Structure 1
Amino acid sequence: MKWQTLASQLFPQGHDIVEHDYFLHGTAKVDQQTVAVIGTTGHTSIGVEIALAQANAILDTMRNFPGRPLVILVDTQGQRLRYRDEMLGINRYMAHLGKCIDVARRRGHAVIGLVYDQALSGGFITSGLMADACYALPEAEIRVMGLAAMARITKVPLERLTELAVSNPVFAPGAENYLNMGGVEAIWQGDLASCFARALQQADSIDQRSARGLERGGRKMSLPVTQLVLGTRDVLPT
């Protein structure tokens, strides 16, 4: 879906979102309140420029409009894999973006993420996955690492990973699998404006992803291990 079509459906009360070099920013009206919107489009990779632009937009919102909700529209093929960006410290730029989102949440800004097209690797981890809750459209393509790349890193044969992906969402891409793991709160269909308004009302700064993953059967050990580390349970389930 093109971002212009998405914005019209999400914000029928009006918006002033603009695109500059694949970076989206602006404001929109939702139930008579203003929300700040940042994001990416065109399957762009996240280089130092876009990471810094998104971080600056969040800082400007915190400085000038305390408490204003933040919306992150996600369409990215991940971090930019270029020598220049690596030498400039792309990891620090992306960490800076993630920290800005976290500071905004701690200061009372509700943060909603929406994957409307692609969401890959580090470009997703430091944007949509940093939100209070991340949502997706049914056609969204979500993955942190492709199976071929995973096979190269883990030395597990691609055929075995492909077999595991059939029954285990941890190994499989797609919005439905990330829903089962708790990384995606819900998949939106139908009236997107109503879906967004409801998500804004339900926004909660407490991280529920491990609990959601356990409830949905996609991540059965994350919450028990966390509880064991925190000392709120004695043993892991068998």
Structure 2
Amino acid sequence: MSWQTLATQLFPGGHDILERDNFLSGTAQVDGRTVAIIGTTEHVPIGIEIALAQAQAILNTVQEHPGRPILILVDTQGQRLRHRDEMLGINSYMAHLGKCVDLARRKGHTVIGLVYDQALSGGFITSGLIASACYALPAATIRVMGLPAMARITKVPEERLTELARDNPVFAPGPENYLRMGGLHGIWQDDLANALARALAECGTDDVRMALGQERGGRLLAQPVAQAVRTGGHVRPT
């Protein structure tokens, strides 16, 4: 789905989103409220330029429009893998973007992420995945690392990882598996405008991803381990 088609369905009340070099920014009307929009399109890799542009848009919203909700539209193949970006410290730029999202949340901004096409690797982690709540469309492609790359890094045979992915969502791509793990709060279908309005109205300040993962059976130990660390207790194997 193109971002223009998506915007038409999300914002029947109108929007002024502009695209420049695959970076999206602007505002839209949702149930009579103005929402700040930032995002990416055309599966663009996140290099230092787009990371800084997204961070600047978030900081401008925090400074000039306190409390305004922010919607991050996600379509990226991950961080840009170029020698130039690596030498300039792309990891620091990505970290800066993540910190800006976190700052907005701490300042009272509801930050919603929506994966409408691709969400891969660090480009997803420091945008939609770190938002107050993250959602996806059914046809979205989501993964942090493909199984072939995972096999090369972990030295576990790809055939074994493929076998594990059948039952364990940690190894498997796709919105349904990220929903099970709690990374996604929901998958939107049909009336996208109503889904967005409801998400903005219901979004809380607490990070409930670990609880959702435990409740849905996708991440059974994250919540107990975090609780044990906080209280000094022990985790019972399941």
Would you say same fold, with TM above 0.5?
A: yes
Give, in whole Å, the separation in 1 of the partners of 2:235 and 2:159.
34
1:228 alignment partner AA: A
Q: Distance in 1 between matches of 2:224 and 2:230?
A: 10
Matched, 1:188 2:192: no
Equivalent residues of 1:224, 1:237 under 8 A apart: no
Q: What stretches of structure 1 move > 6 A for 4+ residues in a row?
A: none
Question: What is the alpha-carbon distance in structure 1 between the residues aligned to residue 218 and residue 226 of structure 2?
Answer: 16
What does residue range 154-165 of structure 1 map to in structure 2 within 5 Å?
Answer: 154-165=154-165
How big is the shift at 1:187?
Answer: 0.3
The answer to whether the 8 Å contact 1:39/1:54 transfers is yes
Match of 1:5 in 2: 5
2:132 aligned partner: 132
Q: What corresponds to 2:107 in structure 1?
A: 107
Aligned to 2:37: 37
Q: Which 5+ residue runs of structure 1 have no aligned equivalent?
A: none
Q: Secondary structure at the match of 1:218?
A: coil
Superposition pairs of residues 1-238 of structure 1, within 5 angstroms: 1-231=1-231, 233-238=233-238
In the alignment, residue 157 of structure 2 is paired with which amino acid? P
TM-score normalised to structure 1 length = 0.99
Render the CA deviation track for 1:21-53: whole Å, top value 9, x for unaligned: 000000000111100000000000000000000
For the residue of structure 2 that corresponds to 1:46, the secondary structure is coil
Q: CA contact under 8 A between 1:11 and 1:30: conserved in structure 2? A: yes
TM-score (structure 2 length as normaliser):
0.99
Q: Give the letter for the 2:196 counterpart.
A: F
Residue identity opposite 1:47 in structure 2: G
Q: Which amino acid aligns with 1:45?
A: P
Paired amino acid for 2:194: S
Rounded Cα–Cα distance in structure 1 between residues aligned with 2:235 and 2:35? 44
Structure 1 position 152, deviation (Å): 0.4
1:205 and 1:236 map into 2 onto residues whose CA distance is: 29
Aligned length: 238
CA deviation after TM superposition for structure 1 residue 168, in Å: 0.5
- Once residues 232 and 2 of structure 1 are traced to their aligned partners in structure 2, the CA distance between those partners, rounded to angstroms, is 49
SS at match of 2:38: strand
How many percent identity over aligned positions? 71
